[in-house]
Amino acid sequence: MNVGPISGASVDARRRGGRKLAALALGVMLAVTACGGGGTGSGSGPDDGKAEDSTAAQSKQSEAVIGIAPKDGAESVKTSGALKVDATKGKLTEVVVKDPDGERVDGEISGDGAHWTPSTHLAASTKYTVHAVAKDSAGRTAAEDSGFTTLTPKNTFVGTFTPEDGSKVGVGMPFSLRFTRGITHPEDVEKAIRITTEPAVEVEGHWFGNDRLDFRPEKYWKAGTKVTVDLDLDGVEGRPGVYGEQTKTVSFTIGRSQVSVVDAKKLTMKVERDGKVVKTIPVTTGAPGTETWNGHMVISERLAVTRMNGETVGFGGEYDIKDVPHAMRLSTSGTFIHGNYWGGGAFGNYNASHGCIGLRDTRGGWDKTAPGSWFFANSMIGDVVVVKNSNDATIAPDNGLNGWNMSWEKWKK
């Protein structure tokens, strides 16, 4: 029968065909494996994508290096000279230093972009944050953040000042500060005081000794000027180990202009209001041997009634008047312009005082038309009284608020 052989031949054929397919499949697998193996050996296999990404990321990283001093987390940092930001292999483009309230510290990036330094001191006992950005030559940016806390001073100073905040004063009023400790770093203290005016006028400071600093313009203030003083003394090292503790804004306004000119020979005082004489008053000034100072004097204190005792100003027991009316101080040494009820016929006729300027008045000041009462009612702190033709010297600029007796050139020095 033909059925068997035919069947056997068919099975053989199928076996040979299966072996060929298996060999072909194996050849394909070997080819694939060979390609894969070759890729692994050259770094272009499945891990190669990661290697390329890593190389690209590294090539994109900025070469700029930012340095911030003091180091991150530093404490008890000095308020001046310690904060610095630098960049190498690049230029600084932004530096932001803030206190906890978000107030920025002013500073400046150097022209070459290598350094940033603050333009002012830091406050004491304050935590600051620093954010700095720099770019390398390829324009790639780098950033750095840091934080530190400034020192807490063991010794401090403050400045007491005149005039008071919110006051209205005369055209001769300087802004005067007296410090509770002697200052040995005057430039740092003066730098921390900023004065702005409306309308704008140049204002300069002058030191009297090491504990007093006065500010004024070249000439009397213009009537109506608004003056604002920013005291940023917190953290200023006024002397080694002694730091300021004030941050305060003081504002005052200049009132109408009043300058009264006393002629010690003619024994008169002409009261000038806004440049016009509004009243001429007979006066008595210092007698021979106790003459009144010449010069520009600023009213610094007003007292409706006060006691004047010669012992307090070097005249022993020559006088002790317990109820001097309408007294206004012109000097620290004891010069006043005041009402006088005991002078008799001296006013306008002869000089009889111990150096003060006397105006006729009544005991108790009850007569509002008396010259002493009128002048008191029409004067304010900061008004100017100018004395001329006295046989005494010109009053010292630091004897009271009387810096107007110093030339502008000397004042600025």
Residues serving a catalytic function are 338, 356
Burial 47-61 (b: 16+ CB within 10 A, else e): eeeeeeeeeeeeeee
User: E-strand spans in 190-291?
Assistant: 193-198, 204-208, 212-216, 226-232, 237-239, 242-244, 247-254, 258-263, 268-273, 276-284
SS3 72: coil
| Chain-centre distance for alpha carbon 208 | 20
In the chain, what is the greatest distance between 2 CA atoms, to the nearest angstrom?
176
8 Å CB contact between 173 and 147 = no
Strands of the sheet containing 247-254, edge to edge, are: 168-169, 247-254, 226-232, 193-198
| Chain-centre distance for alpha carbon 290 | 44
The C-alpha angle 122, 127, 133, rounded to 5 degrees, equals: 80
Phi first, then psi: what are they for 255, rounded to 5°?
A: -80, -155
Q: CA-CA distances (angstroms) from residue 250 to 145, 160, 162, 163, 190? A: 36, 12, 10, 9, 16
Classify residue 390 by burial, with Cβ atoms within 10 Å: 0-12, 13-18, 19+.
buried
10 Å Cβ neighbour count for 272?
Answer: 16
Structure token digits, residue 211: 């504990």
